[in-house]
Structure 1
Amino acid sequence: MTDELTRLANSVLWPGFFGTTLEGDGAPVWLREALEQDLAGVVYFGQNVTDDLAALSAQIHATNPHALIGIDEEGGSVTRLEVATGSTLPGPAQLGALDDVAASQATGAELARRARTVGVDIVLGPVADVNTDPRNPVIGVRSFGADAGLVSRHVAAVVRGVEHGGVAACVKHFPGHGDTHLDSHLALPVITLDPHEIEDVHLEPFRAAIAAGVDTIMTAHIVVPAWGEQPSTLNPAVLGRLREMGFEGVIITDALDMAAIRESVGIGGGAVQALAAGADLLCVGNPTNPGDGTASDQDEQDFLSAREAVVAALRDGSLPRERVEQARDRVRALAARLAAATPADTPPFDSAAIVGRALRVTGDLRAAGSDAAASALAVLDARQSSTLAVDSAAAYVSEALAGDGFRVRLDVALATETEQDAALNAAIAADGRLVLLIDRPDVNAGQRALVERAAARDPHAVVVNAGLAVQHPLPLPVVEVGAASRVGAEAARTLILSV
């Protein structure tokens, strides 16, 4: 028999899990039991997504009608719903480059429609971070840009689109993950900016989201020394600031199994401290994050670490029961409101048209090419390796760009000069115009050197950049795509073949 405190702890926990069904062999028994015992819900990641995702959502909601299902879906470089084939939604950097608020709101509405179709209640987006550090390894093109005003208006537009569609949006990562060169999946970033700059730049998009009526806000595992030495997720001064800004919705933690928390205070300690600090819903997110090693039951281990720590703190009084009940009530109120929501009609949506308008070209594609338009592309994919947050090197990007043509993958950080020459020679010798697919030319010396070597050998080549827009000129024309997505690659391919 489950005791009352266990049910209370369950009601503020939001785990990820391994599996694609609650029924039959291989189903996570622990998850079904937790759902029956008031679990707040689940977060979907790529390992959960199949053609039967709507059926899985129906099983979860049938087991626990209060359950909230979330998914990390941002469009552009970050997708779970289209994890196998690549996103067909515009990404934030593309929308920021276009700077068409109506397109951003329409994208939010389409995202909500897709989420509802598979039974998802909360979309973990849009990203409200102002990407002021071009070295940022975890945000980059997930942000609308480096200008607070630009980011603010597009965050608000996407929030309106998502929430008019009957789904909750979750802006992230408070108080702003844009000015860091560390990845909180792997380390604990420290933001040493002047507090006035944080207030004037990095908090502004969150104010805009609150004004737009956002339902949930996600915390960041970053330290702002001016506001204390604890990570923001665990810092009552930082989370209290959210309430002072007028936010009355659900505060969701970033995943507590990320190294910034796991390797400092631990998942259990993080769970207790986050609740005490003012968080309402504890994401024990993607059980493939590194730590002590990923076991076949790592999802259950991480969930139990959080739950047992919360129950123990409730029992000994170090975590006030009233605080956890307040969090549970906020989560339950959101679930009830979403269940009763009537979504607005979603107008026809042309993702390819929006992304095509967002493309930017540096240099002259026609002057660099031959007299006749190219009939094929030979793609040398030299993007950086994927991270835990973004599948930035996913093969579907180069596949969409190359079509039926030649493509080869090259990691310039690992390949020897001989291997780089071999890949470049093969791409030059192949049928079609040489395309160098890159994503970090301003901070990755290897990518820049490869472009320079290619330019010396093939002046007709072209660069497709899936990352932040190039700030330092390259010796070849550049198509700025702004996302590692299928729709972005297809738009770049269409453009190059048309000149």
Structure 2
Amino acid sequence: MTDDPSLRSQALRTLLAAFPTATAPDWVRRLGDQGLGGVVLFGHNIVDESQVTGLISTLRAGRPELIVALDEEGGDVTRLGYTSGSRYPGNAALGAVDDENLTRQVYAALGGELAALGITLDLAPTVDVNSAPDNPVIGTRSFGTDPARVAAHTVAAVRGLGDAGVAACAKHFPGHGATRVDSHEAVPVVDAPLSVLRERDLPPFAAAIGAGAPAIMTAHLRVPALTGDLPATFSPAALGDLLRGELGFGGAIITDALEMGGAAGDAGMGIAAVRSLAAGADLLCLGAKITEELVEATVAEIVAAVHDGRLPAERLADAARRCAVLAAATRADRATGGVSVPVPDEIGLAAARRALRVYGTLPRSPRPLIVELDAPPTIAVGEVPWGLLPYLEATDAPADLVRLRPLSDEPVDVDALARRAAGGPLILVSRDTHRHARIREVIEQVTAAYPQVVLVEMGWPAWRPPRAVGYLATFGAGPANARAAAEALLTG
């Protein structure tokens, strides 16, 4: 039931769509001209700078205020660097350095790249406090475990993006760092009283609001003390009473992808869209696997919900208005005030070097054995290149390089590795080792059998093998982190 052109236009304006190609489909351009709120780009949409610039120019040909957004967090979650890795270390590395000016510079450089391409909204920074070390979805995306530190760097990140003329979106409200379930797959539960949320999880969001963040993203998680049986994305208590009321946020509330298991679930996209709008959300990120038919069905469900009373007309109008305000504030032709931003490669590598932590001793050899223990990425990260091997292979480094997959059925011959190391250092590379019992088991077997083992941890540094002679924590798995670790291992 989409015969009311005013309601259809308002419903369209609340949607962030996506598409699977490197060129703009006709249906996206048509809906964009009709008032679609915006589009979200993913790694599969991006080939190179000239292609992205042309794509965005085509999308905006009929409507310059169309929002173009993406998740560009730096570090492990990157869309611009999906095939090569990000040039910037992520939040965990920046939090380890704990230099707010550096964080602002890194985000200004990152924002400068986005602005040059025509991207106006960055679905970043992640401001969750990583209070559960085995959290399966945040980890190195977080500035750390201390709410005050995370809040301070949140301010720096929001202002850094703003320096480049790009709108920031702080996520994932009311805090995803204490979860042990990935909301891409199911609904996590944070079973904590509101007093704990106010002390642990909410300070970074309050800081983002104070820094002028124009958008905040919801999380598909339950906090029974706040949301009852509902995910926060569908909770008026979370979005209305807490975020709008107590924290005083007046910008646009953006949902995490509604296609995720923690949102649409069995109910479907249209029902999820109506529930989130009714709860107080304004701009609905539908997800990556979106079609014209799905967008039209979602619009129809929103319009039908207004007609049958599930969604008040004034709530839809308010959401559409907030989306229009965000779009006007992020127009691609908006002047950035002439703010200069750092050179990406220089600032990224400098930050990664400062973040690197080295413990114990690093045995030297003209040609060490470097063994990467691979593991599947999280859904948020995707198949982005990671680790030391891509960097070392590209630079033809003086090392013997091996990649193993202990989580598959591939056997790991510890004795063969020891023989191959031939008395020199054996360097193991892993990420989020604390989350993978099999990888820990392999590392312990190697360290028990061989005396000169060094572990390079490229994820969240929550576990160290007691028998390793050396340990490096990079706080991220991207190219800048890899180069910083390689320099420590192969030079000096």
TM-score between the two structures when normalised by the length of structure 1: 0.90
Assess if the C-alpha contact under 8 Å between 1:12 and 1:40 holds in 2: yes
Q: Deviations over 1:321-372 (max 9, x none)?
A: 221111111111122122234242214452111110110012121xxx1xxx
Assess if the C-alpha contact under 8 Å between 2:20 and 2:288 holds in 1: no
1:390 aligns with 2:381: yes
Assess if the C-alpha contact under 8 Å between 1:386 and 1:394 holds in 2: no
Identity of aligned residues (%): 39
Q: In structure 1, what is the Cα distance between the partners aligned to 2:379 and 2:463?
A: 26
Shift, 1:224, TM fit: 0.6
Q: Tell me what 1:231 maps to.
A: 231
Shift, 1:123, TM fit: 0.7
Q: Tell me what 1:55 maps to.
A: 54
Unaligned runs of 5+ in 2: none
SS state at 2:183 partner: coil
**Residues 284/425 of structure 1: CA separation in 2 closer, same or farther (3 Å cut):** same
SS state at 2:172 partner: strand
Shift, 1:264, TM fit: 4.3
1:40 aligns with 2:37: yes
Give the letter aligned to residue 21 of structure 1: T
Q: Tell me what 2:472 maps to.
A: 479
Q: In structure 2, what is the Cα distance between the partners aligned to 1:170 and 1:197?
A: 23
More divergent stretch after superposition (453-462 vs 246-255): 453-462
1:490 aligns with 2:483: yes
Q: Tell me what 2:105 maps to.
A: 106
Q: Tell me what 1:87 maps to.
A: 86
Q: Tell me what 1:243 maps to.
A: 244
Give the letter aligned to residue 485 of structure 1: G
Which of 14, 17, 25 is the matching residue for 1:15?
Answer: 17
Shift, 1:397, TM fit: 4.7
Shift, 1:308, TM fit: 2.3
Shift, 1:410, TM fit: 2.5
Q: In structure 2, what is the Cα distance between the partners aligned to 1:351 and 1:443?
A: 27
Shift, 1:271, TM fit: 0.2
Q: Tell me what 1:204 maps to.
A: 203
Give the letter aligned to residue 218 of structure 2: T
Assess if the C-alpha contact under 8 Å between 2:82 and 2:384 holds in 1: no
Q: In structure 2, what is the Cα distance between the partners aligned to 1:299 and 1:178?
A: 32
Q: Tell me what 1:453 maps to.
A: 445
Give the letter aligned to residue 233 of structure 2: T
Moved over 4 A (4+): 430-433
More divergent stretch after superposition (2-11 vs 390-399): 390-399
Q: In structure 2, what is the Cα distance between the partners aligned to 1:168 and 1:134?
A: 30
Q: Tell me what 2:431 maps to.
A: 439
SS state at 2:412 partner: helix
Paired residues for 1:233-382 under 5 Å:
233-240=233-240, 241-244=242-245, 245-287=247-289, 298-339=290-331, 340-343=334-337, 344-348=339-343, 349-365=346-362, 369=363, 373-382=364-373
Unaligned runs of 5+ in 1: 23-27, 288-297
SS state at 2:168 partner: strand
Q: Tell me what 1:414 maps to.
A: 408
Shift, 1:56, TM fit: 0.7
Q: Deviations over 1:99-155 (max 9, x none)?
A: 011110101111110101111001111111001111101001100111101111011
Q: In structure 1, what is the Cα distance between the partners aligned to 2:444 and 2:251?
A: 51
Q: In structure 1, what is the Cα distance between the partners aligned to 2:97 and 2:439?
A: 26
Q: How many residue pairs end up in the alignment?
A: 475
Larger RCO (CA under 8 A, 6+ residues apart): 2
Give the letter aligned to residue 7 of structure 1: S
**Residues 174/460 of structure 1: CA separation in 2 closer, same or farther (3 Å cut):** same
Shift, 1:191, TM fit: 0.7
Shift, 1:450, TM fit: 1.5
Assess if the C-alpha contact under 8 Å between 2:386 and 2:477 holds in 1: no
Q: Tell me what 1:295 maps to.
A: none
Q: In structure 1, what is the Cα distance between the partners aligned to 2:164 and 2:122?
A: 11
Assess if the C-alpha contact under 8 Å between 1:379 and 1:401 holds in 2: no
Assess if the C-alpha contact under 8 Å between 1:159 and 1:212 holds in 2: yes
Give the letter aligned to residue 425 of structure 1: A
Q: Tell me what 1:292 maps to.
A: none
Shift, 1:315, TM fit: 2.9
Assess if the C-alpha contact under 8 Å between 1:392 and 1:484 holds in 2: no
Q: In structure 1, what is the Cα distance between the partners aligned to 2:243 and 2:52?
A: 34
Assess if the C-alpha contact under 8 Å between 1:428 and 1:434 holds in 2: no
Assess if the C-alpha contact under 8 Å between 2:128 and 2:175 holds in 1: yes
Q: In structure 2, what is the Cα distance between the partners aligned to 1:328 and 1:4?
A: 11
1:171 aligns with 2:170: yes
SS state at 2:375 partner: coil
Assess if the C-alpha contact under 8 Å between 2:133 and 2:462 holds in 1: no
SS state at 1:200 partner: helix
Give the letter aligned to residue 236 of structure 2: P
Which of 23, 28, 31 is the matching residue for 1:31?
Answer: 28
Shift, 1:448, TM fit: 1.8
Shift, 1:480, TM fit: 0.2
SS state at 1:286 partner: coil
